[in-house]
């Protein structure tokens, strides 16, 4: 028997994409499947949705090369441009982001040596202050380099917004983006992601990450489910310690169930403080700190060894969402999902 079952609802995944596309009209859709498709499994996710998207976005050349094995779709590398596997990626028609002149000149040399056209995506910094170029003079210089080289093609210009809840910051970033791109024509512009889905028709393309997997967009449903096997049930007397440390005592005579999942499998350590699993629609709380490969919950009377409990997803009519785990673990949904990327899908 499997200790942990990780599964993807591919029907829900398809419906998520179709529901997102229904709002797009003529706006292109870039599905962000970086970091192993937010932990869901890069190649399987890509194969399931490739007929419904215009672009895929990944984080580095390695992911891009892996993805190219199963799709002919446009692939954009969103991460910092570097030499690791760069020539191989370019030879396989991977499209490269650049955010400074040094990177662009490096790409220009490679293009001339390979005598191959390279699609360039120019990344701007509009206030996130991570990657991107924000100096108009440098933008003009980069545009000139691209225009003068027959092997370079400007495929898009884009930036990242920082905080959808902060309307004034968002307005300032949009204004900055409009200012920096006012001199650029005949290319695709993209700025918005799932968080800004109401504005997706504002530019030529939208990058959807969390929404693909069912989070952050009102017309999508989560696709990832995690179940863990009960490997032992035992009785604990009142005031006996449970688990590592001395912070957890049994509040009464009780039974506990040992689960075959721990923080090495993606379960956040902090989730044990106030979290739960589901068993036949019932919430069963953690009663000890989560271990590396196991965790301990209060047992339900019907539980048996080799039964499965729901860690994430639907159990009959009840749900545990990544939002639940994130809020109780003082983190964000994206981290919860990507943590489970250490597990392979069945």
Per-residue pLDDT at 44: 95
pLDDT reading at 140 higher than 80: yes
Q: Catalogue the E-assigned strands of 128-260.
A: 152-158, 188-190, 205-208, 224-236, 254-259
**Domain-located, residue 106:** yes
pLDDT reading at 83 higher than 90: no
Confidence band for 25, pLDDT divided at 50, 70 and 90: confident
Stretch 31-40: mean pLDDT: 96
User: What are 224's strand-pairing partners?
Assistant: 8
Residues 6+ apart with CB under 8 A from 36: 42, 63, 338, 341
Q: 24: domain CATH number?
A: 3.20.20.10
**CA dist 189 → 78, 123, 161, 195, 255 (Å):** 14, 10, 13, 17, 58
Asked whether residue 255 falls in the same domain as residue 310, the answer is yes
Per-residue pLDDT at 96: 96
**Domain-located, residue 3:** no
Domain count along the chain? 2
Mean pLDDT of the chain: 94
Domain boundary among the residues 191, 213, 235 is at 213
C-alpha 154/C-alpha 245 separation (Å) is: 57
Residues 6+ apart with CB under 8 A from 331: 268, 270
Asked whether residue 169 falls in the same domain as residue 255, the answer is no
Confidence band for 17, pLDDT divided at 50, 70 and 90: very high
Asked whether residue 180 falls in the same domain as residue 270, the answer is no
Percent of the chain whose predicted confidence (pLDDT) is above 90: 89
Asked whether residue 25 falls in the same domain as residue 166, the answer is yes
**Domain-located, residue 4:** no
Confidence band for 122, pLDDT divided at 50, 70 and 90: very high
Say if residues 307 and 230 touch (Cβ distance below 8 Å): yes
**Domain-located, residue 1:** no
Say if residues 32 and 63 touch (Cβ distance below 8 Å): no
pTM above 0.75, yes or no: yes
Per-residue pLDDT at 205: 94
Task: List pLDDT tens digits, range 234-262.
Answer: 999 999 999 999 889 999 999 999 999 99
Domain boundary among the residues 213, 240, 262 is at 213
Helix (H) or strand (E) holding 123: strand 118-123
Residue 97 Cα to chain centre, angstroms: 19
Helix (H) or strand (E) holding 41: none
Confidence band for 229, pLDDT divided at 50, 70 and 90: very high
Per-residue pLDDT at 202: 76
Asked whether residue 232 falls in the same domain as residue 205, the answer is no
Say if residues 311 and 267 touch (Cβ distance below 8 Å): yes
Asked whether residue 188 falls in the same domain as residue 237, the answer is no
Task: List pLDDT tens digits, range 1-10.
Answer: 899 999 999 9
Asked whether residue 99 falls in the same domain as residue 243, the answer is no
Asked whether residue 140 falls in the same domain as residue 113, the answer is yes
Confidence band for 26, pLDDT divided at 50, 70 and 90: confident
User: Could you list the residue range(s) of the whole structural domain that residue 106 is in?
Assistant: 10-213
Asked whether residue 105 falls in the same domain as residue 141, the answer is yes
Closest alpha carbon to 262 in 298, 226, 314: 226
pLDDT reading at 199 higher than 90: no
Confidence band for 269, pLDDT divided at 50, 70 and 90: very high
Asked whether residue 177 falls in the same domain as residue 297, the answer is no
**Domain-located, residue 144:** yes
Domain boundary among the residues 194, 213, 232 is at 213
**Domain-located, residue 218:** no
Lowest-confidence pick of 130-134, 140-144, 181-185: 181-185
Asked whether residue 188 falls in the same domain as residue 318, the answer is no
Q: 270: domain CATH number?
A: 2.40.37.10
Asked whether residue 101 falls in the same domain as residue 146, the answer is yes
C-alpha 31/C-alpha 49 separation (Å) is: 9
**Domain-located, residue 219:** no
pLDDT reading at 346 higher than 70: no
Per-residue pLDDT at 164: 81
pLDDT reading at 209 higher than 70: yes
Lowest-confidence pick of 36-45, 187-196, 249-258: 187-196
**Domain-located, residue 163:** yes
Confidence band for 200, pLDDT divided at 50, 70 and 90: low
Task: List pLDDT tens digits, range 308-317.
Answer: 999 999 999 9
C-alpha 342/C-alpha 36 separation (Å) is: 9
- The 3-class SS string of 214-247 reads CCCCCCCCCCEEEEEEEEEEEEECCCCECCCCCC
């Amino acid at each position: 028997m499997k200790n942990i079952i990780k599964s993807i609802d591919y029907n829900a995944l398809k419906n998520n994409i179709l529901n997102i596309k229904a709002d797009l009209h003529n706006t292109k859709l870039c599905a962000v499947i970086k970091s192993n498709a937010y932990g869901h499994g890069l190649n399987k996710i890509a194969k399931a949705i490739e007929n419904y998207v215009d672009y895929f976005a990944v984080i580095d050349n390695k992911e891009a090369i892996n993805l190219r094995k199963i799709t002919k779709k446009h692939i954009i590398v969103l991460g910092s441009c570097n030499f690791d596997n760069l020539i191989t990626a370019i030879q396989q028609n991977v499209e490269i982001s650049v955010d400074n002149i040094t990177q662009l000149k490096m790409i220009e040399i490679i293009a001339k040596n390979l005598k191959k056209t390279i699609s360039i995506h120019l990344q701007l910094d509009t206030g996130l202050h991570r990657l991107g170029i924000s100096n108009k003079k440098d933008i003009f210089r980069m545009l000139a380099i691209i225009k003068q080289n027959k092997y370079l093609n400007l495929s898009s210009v884009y930036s990242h917004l920082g905080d959808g809840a902060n309307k004034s910051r968002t307005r300032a970033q949009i204004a900055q983006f409009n200012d920096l791109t006012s001199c650029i024509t005949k290319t695709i512009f993209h700025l918005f992601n799932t968080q800004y889905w109401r504005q997706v028709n504002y530019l030529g393309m939208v990058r959807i990450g969390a929404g693909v997997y069912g989070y952050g967009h009102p017309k999508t449903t989560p696709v990832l489910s995690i179940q863990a096997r009960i490997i032992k049930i035992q009785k604990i007397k009142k005031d006996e310690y449970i688990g590592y440390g001395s912070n957890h005592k049994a509040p009464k005579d009780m039974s506990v169930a040992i689960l075959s999942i721990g923080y090495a499998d993606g379960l956040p350590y902090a989730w044990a403080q106030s979290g739960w699993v589901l068993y036949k629609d019932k919430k069963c709380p953690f009663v000890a700190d989560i271990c590396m490969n196991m965790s301990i919950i209060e047992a339900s009377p019907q539980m048996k060894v080799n039964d499965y409990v729901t860690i994430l997803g639907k159990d009959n009519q009840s749900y545990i969402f990544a939002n639940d785990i994130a809020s109780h673990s003082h983190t964000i949904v994206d981290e919860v999902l990507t943590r489970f990327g250490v597990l392979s899908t069945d």
